[in-house]
């Protein structure tokens, strides 16, 4: 089975850092900072899509300024990577030891994901990954299709684990099983609308998931 994990809000407890950096970027760019709830809503999207959602009316130049400011602030703040949610490292290691494949599907940039994996010493921990700037941003399921093609698997031979409706929506669109986490950016009720096979309050509960009959 291929376990596909979102990063921010699912593995990494990074929401507060993202919120703070986005608000700092707005101030630097001379636009009004959005509140915490609005920024939590865009976690999981690619950065250009996130900024367009937060600021649909600003000019392209202002959007570029917010983007560049966010990248600068986040790189500075992320010298020490955000901690994992409790039990995440242990559960993922157990899945690997059981012979499962692990991948990441994230709204982060390739440079950003590679940077944090390197700082965590996890360059080779995941078998594959897709980032928003090298494919389509969530909720478009293109990154899931690309990961499935890389492993030569069908949607029912993988499971998407995420904390936002964007994660659930892209998996639902292609008939991929879904595990929703309640401790991330979006309220669990938003995720339940996409009929996840399992909703979890603790990362280790992923180990309790069993594919439905007829799935691998």
- Report the mean per-residue pLDDT for the chain: 96
CB atoms within 10 A of CB 131: 21
pLDDT at 213: 65
3-state secondary structure of 194: coil
Domains annotated for the chain, with CATH where assigned, are 2-13+85-208 (3.40.50.1000), 15-77 (1.10.150)
Residue 5's closest CA among 66, 89, 121?
A: 89
Distance CA 105, CA 187 (A): 20
- Which parts of the chain register pLDDT below 70? 213-216
Confidence (pTM): 0.94
What's the alpha-carbon Rg for the chain, to the nearest Å? Answer: 17
Q: Is the dihedral of CA 48, 49, 51, 56 positive or negative?
A: positive
Distance CA 205, CA 87 (A): 9
**DSSP 8-class letter at 84:** B
pLDDT at 215: 54
Q: Is the dihedral of CA 161, 166, 168, 169 positive or negative?
A: negative
pLDDT at 211: 85
Q: Is the dihedral of CA 144, 145, 151, 156 positive or negative?
A: positive
What are 52's two structure tokens? 């367009």
pLDDT at 13: 97
């Amino acid at each position: 089975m291929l376990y596909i994990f979102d990063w921010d809000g699912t593995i990494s407890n990074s929401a507060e850092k993202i919120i703070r950096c986005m608000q700092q970027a707005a101030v630097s760019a001379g636009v009004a900072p959005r509140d915490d709830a609005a920024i939590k809503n865009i976690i999981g999207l690619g950065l250009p899509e996130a900024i367009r959602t937060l600021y649909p009316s600003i000019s392209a130049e202002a959007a570029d300024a917010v983007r560049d400011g966010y990248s600068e602030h986040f790189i500075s703040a992320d010298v020490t990577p955000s901690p994992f949610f409790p039990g995440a490292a242990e559960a993922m290691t157990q899945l690997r030891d059981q012979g499962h494949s692990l991948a990441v599907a994230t709204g982060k940039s390739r440079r950003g994901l590679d940077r944090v994996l390197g700082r965590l010493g996890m360059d080779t921990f995941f078998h594959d990954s897709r980032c928003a700037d090298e494919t389509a941003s969530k909720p478009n399921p293109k990154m899931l299709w690309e990961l499935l093609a890389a492993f030569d698997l069908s949607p029912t031979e993988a499971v998407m684990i995420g904390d936002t409706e964007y994660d659930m929506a892209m998996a639902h669109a292609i008939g991929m099983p879904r595990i929703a986490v309640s401790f991330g950016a979006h309220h669990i009720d938003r995720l339940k609308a996409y009929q996840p096979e399992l909703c979890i309050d603790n990362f280790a509960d992923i180990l309790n998931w069993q594919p439905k009959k007829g799935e691998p």
